[in-house]
Structures are given as structure tokens and as C-alpha cells.
Structure 1
Amino acid sequence: MVFKDKILVRMVVLSMFASMGFSRVKRHGDTQTYSESDNEMEPLIIDRGPYFDKSASKNVTALVGKTTFLGCRVRNLGNRTVSWIRHRDLHVLTVNRFTYTSDQRFSALHNPQTEDWTLQVRYPQRRDAGIYECQVGTTPPIGHSMFLSVVEPITTLLGGPEMYINKGSTMNLTCIVKHSPEPPPSIYWTHDQVEINYDSARGGVSVITEKGDITVSYLLIQRATEKDSGKYTCHPSNANPKSLTVHVLNGEYPAAMQHGGQLRLEYPFAVIFMSLLVTMGTP
């Protein structure tokens, strides 16, 4: 039954080509080509028109002030135009490689050897976040939208802006970087604006950095001395630096310290002080 169906299909195909004026069949090995007079018929190619390669056109997260790129890959473009449109105000930013906005931070990049049309955004700000559409000038136009997020990483130093530790103890400074689209490639520390040398003759100085969605860097200084007092700064390569001031105290005489308008009491002085208040208030 299947064999008869194949014969029927073959007869229909042959009849179709015959009605189109192809009268002869040439055989080349195991394949057949249909020809009109001496010219072979070109293979039938269906033009589906332009379409987007969505695997290469994705949402983007950018850092404030750092140039970013929105990529759009258009297959089978032909002679159509490619435009970038900002949805917030429906403003046409670029058409092909021409910029159509007075904001010169936006520009279009295209290499004729590729199918990529890129919107470059220099010095992005938070207000630039939103939907951007890559549009092809077909009839009607077709478009592919992407979302641009603009984030500003936050650097935090725990225990700041001032930290008090006892002489001879281990100083542990913890620097946290949040809201970064990728972990900072590097983090370095400075003491009084001089980069810390972990191989110095002093010894006992080390850094441990754990990278991830939230990156944490630990600066460890063993057997702290008064010389270790000063301003320490954490410098992430893709975020703002953050500083705190360390005071190394003689642990023999802990005392009350005025800090930020509040009385800060250190143990055991605080315990003794509170005990005296309780005793004085007892009849």
C-alpha cells in the first residue's frame, strides 16, 4: 500500500513539472534534475524574509557610567533597514548606522561581514533603564524588544566608619560588594592610601575573597599594633571604593569613647560603670 502511495505522489509531481513546461528528465547517478531545453532548473528556495536570532539578542545589565551594548542579530535582512527604538518615549535612536537623537551617547555599530546590529550606550545612567526595540523595516515592521537594566554596585565596609580594636588582636576588615552584574575582577586594599603588600616583612597580613552574586573580601591582620592604625580602603575594580578608620588601642585600659555624638562604652569598663549606677540607685 505504501509503495502505491509513493508511485501516486511521484506521478503527481511529474505532472506538475510537465504542466510548468519541463518536458525532460535528466539522470545523474541516483539523483534527478528537471530541465527545460538544455538548462537545469535551479533548486526551489523559499524566502521567509528577515527574522531575529533571539539566542543572540538578550537582556543586558549595565554598570552606571560604563559603556554597554545591546545586541541584535537579524537573519536574512536583505535590503531592509534596522532601527533602534526606545519604548519610554517611542524615540527612534538610530536607523542603520545613523544616529537620530541629539543624545550622542547612543550610536549604532554594524560590521557588514556580520548580521549583528548593536546599540552602543556610553555613560549609561539609571534613567536609561527600560525597554529598547530592534526593529526591521518590513511591511509591516517586525521588532524584537530587550530590557536594559542599569545598576550601581554598592560597596560596604562592616564596622565603619570607625573601628576600635585592642593591640595584639587580629584585625578583620570585611568588604561587601552588592548589585554588581558580575563579580569584580579584582579587589585591592590600601592603608593610608598605600596599597597593602601581603608579602611585606611584617607578615601576618592576608586577603580572602569570595566571589559571587554578593562578593566579600576579608582583610586579616594578625597581632595588630599601633602602627596598624589608620585609614583602610577597599577598592573593587567595578564599584566605588569604601573606607573606614581603625584605632588600635592598648587593651589594658579600655575606656569610654565619644563616637558619632553617642557615648560608646567598651567592656569591661561598661559593665563596671553600669554596676556603679545600679549600686548608687539602690537605697
Structure 2
Amino acid sequence: MADLNGEQHYLGLITKETTSCYRIGDPVIPDHQLDAVLESQGFWELPYFENSTKREITATVGQPAYLHCRVRNLGDRAVSWMRKRDLHILTVGAQRYTRDSRFQALHQDGSDEWTLRIFSPRLHDSGTYECQVSTEPKISQAFVLDVVVSRAQIVGNKELYVKSGSDINLTCLVLEAGEPPSFIYWYRGADVVNYSGRGGISVLTDRQTRSSQLLISCAQPHDSGNYTCSPSASDAASVMVHVLHGEQPAAMQHGKGNLNKVISPSTSSVSLSSQSSNASSLKYSLQTHSLQLIAFSCHLSLLLTWIFMLKLHNDDTDENETKRFFENISDIT
């Protein structure tokens, strides 16, 4: 083993296994005391990285990102963090060497871990970062950071039609989240869904699966509105819910023998093409009814005219003429 001056030294029989270095009369040093003896005599092993840390990190925009670097046998050498894309030194030891205050080095005395923390990371912070040790030559370990935009997604279409008295069942998933959300709130319009103001409302949130389910039982028309799922540090998602009372549109009907079965997100969906087709059919139906109403008005006007003319007849109008009069009216109407 060489000391700091490059001279080779033998420590005698350090352990029972190193017989090739043994000289008669050298002491036997137990294994558990070896590190202390090396340190007391000025000998150190070279630093090396511990490979148990995660090297590929996914962080969410706005949420702190942590890059953990563990260095063994560091001695009096310094650990620095460098951004690979522009070779910019971010930190040396516990000191920050960049004007960007979002970067900070974390280290506890006596610990082998040197952590780079990035407050509120942005998309352009994605890339490779190096943990470096000031040996000669310098050694480094690369970490890849991927900063993503977390977003919510409500399962199903952007619009949901339910029949009055049925249940509203909405499921929200949080996608591209580096860590589980701290919370997931549900809104109707601009207001948080009020659990106490109306019975029959429940929310089941699972942070580990990053999901939340909103259930509103026995929905009424006043429950209609724009429902929004808003997780922490994620873009929100919304769905428009229509609770209809009475006769249902064709878009809500499903199956031949059951015209009142409402299509829910878990069974089927209302496509844009079917909505367009239903709108065309409704328009045609209204036009047909309008024409029928106009024809009926004409017939009624003609009938009133004949009745008025009838009153102008003399009392001696014979029975046959009156009969022919009403037959004419029947033919017209």
C-alpha cells in the first residue's frame, strides 16, 4: 500500500489471511480494527460511489426534486454537482455556485450522502446532472432528471348524461405524478363539493393508486354542472354533468327493451356523431310538427267560416242542404 508520498509500505500481518506480507514478529491486527489502524497511520482508501441510489429520477413541475449521491471514503475531498448540458457548476460542498437559488446542496456531518435539491423544477431542468469528487483524476456519477407536467384525467367523456334519481359516479386518475398527490379536491363550478349540505355524497381517495372517486346518489337536476378534479401540483380535469328529468334524449338510451337505461362511464359513452345525428332528427321532427300545426290552423279557419255562413241561411233551409254542408266540411278537414 502506498502512502501520500507514493512510497510503498507493508503493515505487517494485518490479518491472518495476508500471509504474503507477514514478517516474523509483526503483530496480528483483528479485522474489526483494521479501518482504525489504517486511519491512525495515515492511510486511506480512494473514494468510491455507492450504487444503491436511484439514478433516474422523475419529478413533477412545481414539486421539489432530490438527487441523492453517496460517496464512501471521501476523506478531505470535496463533492460538487454539475449540470451536464452547459457544464455549469451548481454546488461545491454545501456552497451554492449558481445564481439560481432553486438549487441547493444538502449534507449532514458524518453522512456519506450529498443531495442536490431543486426547488420548483421546470421542464427545461430535465437532463443529466453529475455528482463529482475532487480526486485526481476526478470521478463522477451521472443522474438523469425528467421533469414532467402532472395532470388529472376523469374517466369517460367530457359530458355525462344521467337520469334523475340515478347515481353520478366519477373517477379521477392522476397521471405523470412523481409522488402521490397530497390531496385531491372535487369542485362543482367554483365551489368545493359540499358533503354536509346534501346527503348521499361520498369521496374515496387512494393516494397510492393516485385515484379518487366521487359518488352522488339519487342525483337531481340541481346536481347538474361542471365537475372538476383538482389534485395537488397537477393540472385539473373537468366533466359536464347533465341530470335530466322526464323524457330522455336518444343519446341516453341503450338497448331495445329498456329505453330508460342511462349510459354511464363504466358501461358505454355518448359519441359526438350520435349527438349530431340526434340533433338532426330532433330538428326534422320539429319542422314536421310545425307544418302539421299550420295545416290544422287552416282547416280550423275554414270551419269557422262555414259555420258563420250557415248562420246567415234562412230558417227555411232544407235538411238535405244542411247535410251536404256538413259533408263538405268533413271532406275538407
Q: For 2:93, which of 96, 107, 116 is the aligned residue?
A: 96
Match of 2:176 in 1: 179
Tell me if 1:82 matches 2:79.
yes
Q: Which amino acid is 1:15 matched to?
A: I
Q: Show the 5 A alignment for 1:89-238.
A: 89-159=86-156, 161-198=158-195, 200=196, 202-210=198-206, 215-238=210-233
Q: How far apart are 1:132 and its partner, in Å? A: 0.9
Cα distance in 2 for residues equivalent to 1:147 and 1:157: 31
**Deviations 1:198-239, CA, capped at 9 Å, x for gaps:** 4x36432223345556x3322121221111012212121242
Q: Structure 1 154/100 Cα, relative in aligned 2: closer, same or farther at 3 Å? A: same
Cα distance in 1 for residues equivalent to 2:21 and 2:72: 34
TM-score, normalised relative to structure 2:
0.61
Residue pair 2:102, 2:119 contacting (<8 A) in 1 also: yes
Q: Structure 1 224/270 Cα, relative in aligned 2: closer, same or farther at 3 Å? A: farther
Q: How far apart are 1:262 and its partner, in Å? A: 7.9
Tell me if 1:264 matches 2:261.
no
Q: Is 247-256 or 90-99 further displaced after alignment?
A: 247-256
Ranges in structure 1 where 5+ consecutive residues have no aligned partner? 1-8, 18-24, 26-30, 34-41, 278-283
Q: Structure 1 218/149 Cα, relative in aligned 2: closer, same or farther at 3 Å? A: same
Q: Comparing both structures, which one devotes a greater share of its residues to strand?
A: 1
Cα distance in 1 for residues equivalent to 2:206 and 2:139: 44
Cα distance in 2 for residues equivalent to 1:217 and 1:32: 62
State the SS of the aligned residue for 2:227.
Answer: strand
**Deviations 1:5-47, CA, capped at 9 Å, x for gaps:** xxxx979834374xxxxxxx7xxxxx789xxxxxxxx945652
Q: How far apart are 1:169 and its partner, in Å? A: 1.8
Q: Structure 1 106/266 Cα, relative in aligned 2: closer, same or farther at 3 Å? A: same
Cα distance in 2 for residues equivalent to 1:269 and 1:171: 28
**Deviations 1:31-68, CA, capped at 9 Å, x for gaps:** 789xxxxxxxx945652121222224543221102122
RMSD: 3.7
Residue pair 1:154, 1:239 contacting (<8 A) in 2 also: yes
Q: Which amino acid is 2:102 matched to?
A: R
Cα distance in 2 for residues equivalent to 1:90 and 1:53: 23
Identity of aligned residues (%): 42
- How many residue pairs align between the two structures? 242
Q: Is 154-163 or 94-103 further displaced after alignment?
A: 154-163
- Structure with the greater alpha carbon radius of gyration: 2
Match of 1:68 in 2: 65
Q: Structure 1 125/170 Cα, relative in aligned 2: closer, same or farther at 3 Å? A: same
Cα distance in 1 for residues equivalent to 2:284 and 2:155: 28
Runs of 4+ in 1 over 6 A off after TM superposition: 9-12, 266-269, 271-274
Residue pair 2:200, 2:217 contacting (<8 A) in 1 also: yes
Q: Comparing both structures, which one devotes a greater share of its residues to helix?
A: 2
Match of 1:48 in 2: 45
Match of 1:240 in 2: 235
Cα distance in 1 for residues equivalent to 2:29 and 2:109: 38
Cα distance in 2 for residues equivalent to 1:60 and 1:117: 16
Q: How far apart are 1:263 and its partner, in Å? A: 8.1
**Deviations 1:240-261, CA, capped at 9 Å, x for gaps:** 22223322222325379xxxx9
Q: Which amino acid is 2:22 matched to?
A: V
Q: Which amino acid is 1:66 matched to?
A: Q
Q: Which amino acid is 2:239 matched to?
A: L
Ranges in structure 2 where 5+ consecutive residues have no aligned partner? 1-17, 31-35, 252-271, 289-333
Residue pair 1:255, 1:269 contacting (<8 A) in 2 also: no
Q: Which amino acid is 1:204 matched to?
A: G
State the SS of the aligned residue for 1:264.
Answer: helix
Match of 1:15 in 2: 24
